[in-house]
Amino acid sequence: MDTTSFPAVWAVVGPGVAGAVFGVGWWFWVDAVVCSAAAVPFLHYLPGLFASFAALMFNCVKREDANYNYYSPYDDSEWRLKLWLFVSYVVSFVSLAGAVGFLVQDALTDTGPSAWTGVAGVLQSVFVLISGLMYWTCHSED
Amino acid sequence: VSLPHLRFAQLLVWFCSRFRRRLGSPIRVSGWRGIGRLGFRFEFGVTIGWLAGLAFMFSTSILLQILACALYNNWWPMLAALMYVLVPMPCLFFGGGSTQFLTSRDGGGWFNAAKFLTGASAMGSIAIPAILRHAGLIETGAMFIEFTSFFILVCTVMCFHRATLDEDW
């Protein structure tokens, strides 16, 4: 194992750390659902699911393909990859916005889940997306 | 804390120490061999020492796992042992059956996926005691005993990985 430079260490350790951060996000949500006095509707699960799906989406694109050295046998530029990355960005944004919306709703209303459920939802989306970004930055095909 | 739990813990500690001493005895026997077998003695001694240490650490981890349940007469913390079933799965499925994938960067996408899933599974061993404590099902002391057990298990795996790589060299 090459420990002299940070990119080399990050390429080795990064996927494991990304998995741990992903686990942190989802276990926060498990904690919120388990410790909630009121039943959590299925709508509140969607931001976390969308964040996980978005992380999967932009990890389908290799980091080296999304730059200007992209070679395509169809004489196209890299617009398809960037369009896919843009769609995954939209899904990420929707999941974060939904989580924040549910947090505000849970904090304002007395019925339904408590504010901790909303906070855990936001933490879940943030940690899941961060784990996707970590995996994307350290996952480099040689 | 009632007496049978302490007695059980004492018996387990005694068993671990007996196992360690018995496993360590061949080192002294091999020490009396001729000078020509010095290299073999050294290699054999290092291996046995590593194995004894690893066995002791693993036994201590299992001991703490059981103590977290027995001391408080509350078997909810045994749920954390479910994650110990999940953690080896990416290693066996995608990592080639050894811990070499942990410090490798040339394995490609499957090794990275194995590392990702290992990290995600290992986080459950920390999350489950924390959630049980947050829900009020277990005591704070039991949660910290679980954390110590998981930490010792991780050290055991890292030492085993190091010993395996040393043998490969």
Q: Per residue in B103-132, pLDDT tens?
A: 776 667 777 888 888 888 888 888 989 988
Asked, for residue B30, whether it belongs to a domain, the answer is no
Does any domain span residue A1?
no
Angle at A45 between CA A44 and CA A47, to 5 degrees: 85
* Structural domain for A82, as ranges: 6-139
Rounded to whole angstroms, how far apart are CA atoms B23 and B34? Answer: 22
Residue A16 has pLDDT above 70, yes or no: yes
- Residue B34 resides in a domain: no
Contact list in A for residue B123 (CB cut-off 8 A) is 19-20, 22-24, 27
Question: Is B50 inside a domain boundary?
Answer: yes
Q: Which of the residues A13, A27, A135, A137 would you substitute to probe the B interface, choosing the one with the greatest number of B C-beta atoms within 10 Å?
A: A27
Domain that holds residue B147: 45-167
> For B108, which of A14, A22, A141 is closest by C-beta distance?
A141
Number of structural domains found in chain B: 1
Do the Cβ atoms of B112 and A17 come within 8 Å? Answer: no
Mean pLDDT value of segment A46-66 = 84
Residues of B in contact with A34 (CB under 8 A): 131, 134-135
Residue B7 belongs to a domain: no
CA pair distance A36, A108, nearest whole angstrom: 16
Question: Is B2 within a domain?
Answer: no
Domain tally for chain A? 1
Q: Is residue B23 part of a domain?
A: no
Determine the pLDDT at residue B169. Answer: 38
Task: Please check whether residue A134 lies inside any domain of the structure.
Answer: yes
Residue B63 lies in a domain: yes
- Lowest pLDDT segment from A29-33, A37-41, A73-77: A73-77
Widest pairwise Cα distance in chain B: 63
Which residues have CB under 8 Å from A91's CB, separation 6+?
Answer: A50, A53, A54, A57
Q: What is the mean pLDDT of residues B79-99?
A: 77
Q: Does the CB of B131 have a partner CB in chain A at under 8 Å? A: yes
